[in-house]
Amino acid sequence: KAGVTQTPRYLIKTRGQQVTLSCSPISGHRSVSWYQQTPGQGLQFLFEYFSETQRNKGNFPGRFSGRQFSNSRSEMNVSTLELGDSALYLCASSLGGLAGSYEQYFGPGTRLTVT
């Protein structure tokens, strides 16, 4: 079974630009979560989508947004990029059922550098 894929793997943008990152979950997984990882703040939760609806949201400004499509693929968008947005952006997928415990499977991440 193919794992979680993220594109692009590396990206360099300039301050003020916007960026869109893509995530394809494991087949059959309906939940997609996004995380930001930086050396200073570690791994931080951004948001989670399930069945095209945002189900959870972390403590990030409105410049960070996302969406999920009917095939469970998800995109994350960051507008008006700042230097501090330079990070590894990780996507994780899971079955995401309504109850019970379930593990998340992470993709390799997109390394975003803002100059």
Kindly list the residues in this chain that would bind other proteins in the complex (CB under 8 A).
4, 31, 33, 35, 42-45, 48, 50, 55-56, 58, 88, 90, 92, 94, 96-109
We find the least distance from the C-beta atom of residue 107 to other proteins, in angstroms, to be 5
Structure tokens at 115: 């100059």
Measured from the CB atom, is 83 or 103 closer to other proteins?
103
We find the least distance from the C-beta atom of residue 42 to other proteins, in angstroms, to be 6
Measured from the CB atom, is 15 or 102 closer to other proteins?
102
Measured from the CB atom, is 22 or 58 closer to other proteins?
58
Structure tokens at 17: 């630009």
Distances (CA, A) of 43 to 19, 46, 88: 20, 10, 9
Measured from the CB atom, is 14 or 53 closer to other proteins?
53
Residue 10 Rama label (left phi>0; alpha psi -120 to 50; beta):
beta
We find the least distance from the C-beta atom of residue 31 to other proteins, in angstroms, to be 5
Distance CA 55, CA 24 (A): 18
Structure tokens at 18: 């916007």
We find the least distance from the C-beta atom of residue 45 to other proteins, in angstroms, to be 5
Distance CA 70, CA 90 (A): 21
